[in-house]
Amino acid sequence: MRPQRVLPILCILLLFSVATAGCTVNLNPANVQSNASQAPLGTNSSGTSNGTAHMLAVEQADDNNSYQGALSDVTVYTQPGAGHVFVETAPLTGVDFQETARTAVNVAAERAKVDASQRDFEFVLHVPTGVDAVDGPSAGLPMTIAAYSALTKKPTSPYVYGTGAIESNGTVSNVSGVYLKALAAAQSGARVIVVPSGETFVSTTSPLSENAIANVNLQAQLQKDGYNVTVVGVKTFDDALPYYFT
């Protein structure tokens, strides 16, 4: 059961601490355990391969009255099997995240021209210290990228960060809190930030605001904040591939 104090956030990958029911992620990059550029990529004698991608999230801040971006990574391992999809239990993952893992595998396998029923997949999360649970669908794009990387044995760029829900047909759907996620990515050294095509203009207010107006150019705002990044809007998973694998 999730803590009662944690508010439901539609289309946000929400990181929270079960022990405190509050946020635990510090945006200082030194405190973020980002392993995308460190995890080995390849295939061993048993046919196991893996791929990694950055994930972006939004969480409640320490004062419980505001929100901030949060960073984590997902590594997908694949090996010959029977079509099972496993998700690491530390940190705990919710139903939305688990369902997204299955969709990510199916989309990635179709694009890689691999029969997913003949392989097993394991999703392992690398999160900041103190994060006990992860849920939500908005990491669908990076999860699919990581699965595709594992299947094709192509490494992802460590400088590309992305957010977006993934549909079964490969469509990248809108999510919440895009500005806060992108800001966290920029602070962590992102050069390219991939977002849903409909969210290159965003609101910089709270992701829970019912009256938010998406009228701020995301790239212009990040540059105004002092970060030299390129924001790319994509409609489909295929649109995102050139940015992750060049």
Is residue 91 reached through a cis peptide bond, with omega within 30 degrees of 0 on the bond before it? Answer: yes
Alpha-carbon distance values, 217 to 163, 193, 203 (Å): 17, 13, 9
Express each pLDDT in 112-137 by its tens digit: 999 999 999 999 999 887 788 899 99
Domain spans, the chain: 14-244
Torsion angle of the four alpha carbons 84, 170, 16, 3, in this order, in degrees rounded to the nearest 10:
-70
Residue with tokens 């392992």: 124
Quote the CA–CA distance of 171 and 107 in Å, as a whole number: 10
Quote the CA–CA distance of 147 and 239 in Å, as a whole number: 16
DSSP-assigned letter for residue 125: E
Q: How many CB atoms lie within 10 A of CB 186?
A: 21
* Mean pLDDT taken over the chain: 82
Express each pLDDT in 146-190 by its tens digit: 999 999 999 999 999 999 999 999 999 999 899 999 999 999 999
Residues classed as catalytic = 138, 181
Residue with tokens 């530390």: 90
Quote the CA–CA distance of 105 and 108 in Å, as a whole number: 5
What tokens appear for 110 in the block?
């179709």
Q: How is domain 14-244 classified at the architecture level of CATH? A: 2-Layer Sandwich (3.30)
Q: Residue 34's pLDDT is what? A: 37
Quote the CA–CA distance of 137 and 30 in Å, as a whole number: 26
Q: 165-166 and 172-173 as β-strands: parallel, antiparallel, unpaired?
A: antiparallel
Express each pLDDT in 60-96 by its tens digit: 777 666 788 999 999 999 999 999 999 998 899 999 9
Strands (E), 63-150: 67-80, 85-87, 92-93, 119-126, 133-135
**Arithmetic mean of pLDDT, 16-24:** 29
Q: How large a percentage of the chain has pLDDT more than 90? A: 64
**Arithmetic mean of pLDDT, 217-246:** 96
Express each pLDDT in 29-69 by its tens digit: 333 333 333 334 444 446 899 999 999 998 877 766 678 89
Q: Residue 109's pLDDT is what? A: 98
**Arithmetic mean of pLDDT, 18-28:** 29
Burial of 152 (0-12, 13-18, 19+ CB in 10 A): middle
By C-alpha distance, which of 176, 192, 173, 195 is closest to 103?
173
Express each pLDDT in 25-37 by its tens digit: 333 333 333 333 3
User: Is the whole model's pTM more than 0.85, yes or no?
Assistant: no
In DSSP terms, 74 is beta-bridged to 53, 125
